[in-house]
Structures are given as structure tokens and as C-alpha cells.
Amino acid sequence: MTIGFTSHDRDIVFDDIRHLTAPGMVPSAVRFSADFEPDSAEMSGALAHAAVTSEDLEAGRFDEARVEMGIVDWETLEREVIYTGRVGTVEEDAGSFTAELLSEKSRLDVDTIPRTSPTCRARFCGPGCNLPVSRFANASRVAVIGQEGTRLIVADEIAPTDYLDGEVRVLDGAGTGLIHEVTAIDDGAFVLSPALAETVAVGTRIELRQGCDRRWATCSGRFANGVNFRGEPFLPGNDLLARYRVSG
């Protein structure tokens, strides 16, 4: 989904996108640097448009959203993009929001060199893990919701422990597409983070994705995927330096 806003006093249409003047967006100064420091910018506006709501911001729908900011001649539609990036931190205060914009240069801060770790560094069923998602995803429906959306019981008979560290994806209604992490299993119920939205009700369709604790024993024993394990479980750690000899 693409949404356009303008600080002009009327809507402007170009690139098949209607840039809305209501509520509009107010860009701050954009700072460019000649070195590798990320360029900085912010945007602010009122939470008045149906496409940008406080509920969506709180649920993380706009996290990592791509942002283009530029200038346009409203008569000739001649235009130039002066900033590209993605949405970082979003803060809300009294019905308005401020979004930190991270430029493309911020990706240079990511450490691309793998560090050693006793646990797997790959995302389960993602690149490196190489297991197919279809083998570990199941469709179900919401049976019980408790504790303000943080507890969930599904309608199908499953082994809840298989889904610890997994995901619940909403497939129906206004919450479609939102992902909730299974952080714990409590008496057969999933403990979710973040909590389910109020629009999610009993009977809502969901997708369950199993989880992995990233340990060697789980990868090799439960999933038979030790060949793709992205970790060093047998590499001695720093505690080896602190060991001392004992008799016998």
C-alpha cells in the first residue's frame, strides 16, 4: 500500500498516486552528510486520515515502511526526490505522531560479518535455514482470547509447545497481516507479544507457524537440519580462559 501526502493547499496527483493535503504531512529539515553518517529527517502530522491511525502505528504496520520525500511544481508536476529512507522510531503524543526517518546510508551500520555464537543465527525457515515454511505452518481459528489479547487458544488440536518462539498471523478482518510472537505457553494457551488487536474475535482465521529455539539439539534432533545450522555450538567460549586445573 502506498500513501501520498503534500504540504500544498490542494491534492496533487502524479505517478498514479493522489498526494493528500488533508491531513497532510509537515517535513522537517533534511540534513545530508558527505561522509558515511546517516542522513537525518523527520516528518510529523495529525492522526486524522483513515490510512494512518494510532492503532496501526502501535501495531507496527508502518515499521520499516519505505519513505520518499521530494519537491514538486504543482502546476507543471516537475518533481525531484531529495530523500529516500525508511520509517524508524514512531512516537505519538496527544493525537499526533513524529516518525524518525532512516536514510539508506543507515544500512551501512549493519554488521555484515557473522559473529560466532552457540545458537543458530538464521531465521527459522528463512535464508540459511532453508526449511520450507509450508511444512511448519498450519491454518486455524481463534477459540478463546484472554488477558486483553495476550493469551490465545486455537480451535484445532495441536501440540502448543511446537509453536513456542513461533508466530501467529492474522488472516481476517482489520488485523490481517499482523504478526504476533509466541513468547510462552501457559496451560495450553499461547502468550503473545504484542497483544491481539480488539478487532480480532473468536472465529477469526489465523496461521500458526512453529518456532525454533535455535539450539543445536533442536535443529539436528527435531528438524534433522543440522547441515544448515548457522552457529558454533562446540566452539570453546571465553569461560575457557577462566578454568583452572583440578586434581584428578
Cβ neighbors of 243 (< 8 A, separation 6 or more) are none
C-alpha cell at 31: 540534513
In the prediction, which pLDDT does 105 show?
74
Give the rounded distance of the alpha carbon of 133 from its chain centre. Answer: 18
- Each domain of the chain, given as residue ranges in start order, spans 4-106, 133-228
Helices of type H across the chain: 54-59, 216-217
Cβ neighbors of 47 (< 8 A, separation 6 or more) are 23, 53, 54, 57, 92, 95, 96, 97
Backbone angles phi, psi at 85, to 5 degrees: -175, -155
Is the pLDDT at 165 greater than 90, yes or no?
Answer: yes
Number of residues in the chain: 248
Structural class in CATH, domain 133-228: mainly beta
C-alpha cell at 102: 532512516
Is the pLDDT at 151 greater than 60, yes or no?
Answer: yes
Is the pLDDT at 175 greater than 90, yes or no?
Answer: no
Is the pLDDT at 224 greater than 90, yes or no?
Answer: yes
Give the mean pLDDT of 222-241. 87
Proportion of the chain above pLDDT 70, given as a percent: 85
Tens of pLDDT along 37-61?
A: 766 666 666 455 666 777 777 777 7
Q: Which of 104, 89, 13 is nearest to 44 (CA)?
A: 89
In the prediction, which pLDDT does 137 show?
93
pTM: 0.68
